[in-house]
Chains A and B, each alone.
Chain A
């Protein structure tokens, strides 16, 4: 076997570690998604000024630089709090694209945390991840539809029903998460 090893283009800023094309693309996607989330927030009636946008962009770059740390969790937690505090309506359809943005961003962070900065993702992995994203997006769409229906109908005791359903889900999560340990 004597095939030549192909060269790849890498991006290096100053003395920093070189970044591969895939990682640069993921970095850009993560920043665009944060700005996209803020766009949804603004469209939903939330307040986003120039300073907020600037801080968010810088924060997004910081998050995207260290995807394997708790920084993305803190960043996206802050964005959720921002939404909860500034969006005044109880239900808006803009929550659906914002949720999808959050889903894609979470996946992008997880992919970026997989390997070194100049690592290459395979086409098979990307295709499979997109397929799974579509499945989850479909589920989220269904939940949004249910929420919108409940919000529109305003049935008596509706908060109690939702709360009870969530408690059941939480209990089930606790069960599946703690049932047995993996052998060492």
Chain B
């Protein structure tokens, strides 16, 4: 079920009304849980079983882990949850990829191996809810938190529909306390939540799908014909599209949850106004980058073993982070490039004492623009269909070629959206979006909301799925 569909509007209205009834807190949480499973079953009903499996395994494992003291047995039990969650992810998401690479390896060794056709359907959101469920068990294992007291609360934590299929990846210590007792939803929360839902849909439907996606698709679907202007505009269009698509989803998720009285963590904070790459990863898909930091980078040793070790840990984390996005070497390369940027930035900063410039200096603006350009060019590996396509686009970015794909209208649209995006993110760089929303005069807020809703209404009618659903 897509946020940008009438079905979701009807579904959410029903869930919201039931949630507002003066019934017991347990009943209202059960309503949210049933709604969450219904939401997930809208894609493929049998896959609800995978969600249950992940929930049940982590519920029992965490309970046992908490009561055990023997380190060996605790490690063995942790292995169970790792195998369960990563096994699900490995089979459904990487099964075909592994088989394909194994076949290539066999052929390289001169062995004619022909695997059976692997028609594995990827359950939507599996990367998100397995990581979320896993983080709970890991927190209990590391004694950072206690297991949940109520199975209903834990099941709702894993399956809560606003963030189930594309995050934010919520930590149990942030969510479970919210389940303990009912908290009335204030008019302020309702107002901000509904506004976030509307602005999130505006980002997705109007900016990502209507204004940017057609140009990005046109260029990346015919890369050999792309001239330099096409390549730059197509890459900029995708850079904007993926931000508005994913940020729009996250905003909708946070807004929908807020309308139901739950607070989810922020997932984006003006990433295209970042000063450097470590700053970028503190602002882009924050819930994933902090997950990778806490459960991968730090357990690997973090920066405790010196510069070389820290660099290796960064690279491992970013390569795995890249692979998390999709079962393709293109995503690994994308992650590897970001890893190398981060390592290079660390080296420069530490050896030459280079720090991000302070104040509103020209150097800061130049630094932010440089970061944006490198991040945008790197998206090419994320969006292109093949390595060859990515290389062709990058060559067109560098070597001047006549453009034939995008017309003046598309170029102007992408240019204007990009400039406004960068200016808006620069303005909000050190600010909180929700706080800024409340600083706007109420009537101006009404005009902005009405404009967003009307634009959504006249936007082209295809209900496109969110890009991150495939991950």
Q: Do A and B come from one complex?
A: no
A interface residues, Cβ below 8 angstroms from B: none
